[in-house]
Structure 1
Amino acid sequence: MPVYKAPLRDMKFLLNDVFDYPRHYQTLASGENATPDIVDAILSECGRFCEEVLSPLYQSGDEEGCHLENGEVITPKGYKEAYEQYVMGGWQGLSAPEEFGGQGLP
């Protein structure tokens, strides 16, 4: 099975050199929280999560798929645990306001 490697170098090139996100984020209300160091750390950790947690699920996702049983959605093996790791890692709250447990990022 192929091994997924997050294209971090390409992502950083696009964000910094093509889109110039630091200049753009300065114009946003919550942009001051998105420093280059913070964005770099988020990308690196997201890449690790994708490589180590999500990528191994591709095969079970393709083979098992999702289906409906008695009105309940059944996901492939490992998906529930991956989602729990996603939530525990705070990924769903990156752009949520800090007062609601988010990171307050744009």
Structure 2
Amino acid sequence: MQLKEHSSIFGMLYDIPKLLTIPEEDLHQQCRALETVLTHDDNRDTDASDLGDELKALSRYISAGSTPKAVLEYMCTNKMTTLFQNAFVALHILLTLPVTVATSPS
């Protein structure tokens, strides 16, 4: 169940080149969901509208099959972190989340 929730929130970041093919409203809806999760009180880590625009633009630079880590490395190598600030923050958070799959014996 936790992996499903993780996927519904961060799933778009796993295949950034694919974002060129999805409807604009779907992308912005996913960005709003991510913004909600990354908001505490009035402090937001990302801006949904800007994130959607950044991911759409970034997707033109990234080759198909690129992992989130490869995208983040590309952004750092090419000094794009301030240009795509919201995407950088979202990818950085995604890649530092502790994700485990464990079940207790029944």
| TM-score in terms of structure 1 length | 0.34
| TM-score in terms of structure 2 length | 0.34
Quick one: higher RCO (CA 8 Å, sep 6+), 1 or 2? 2
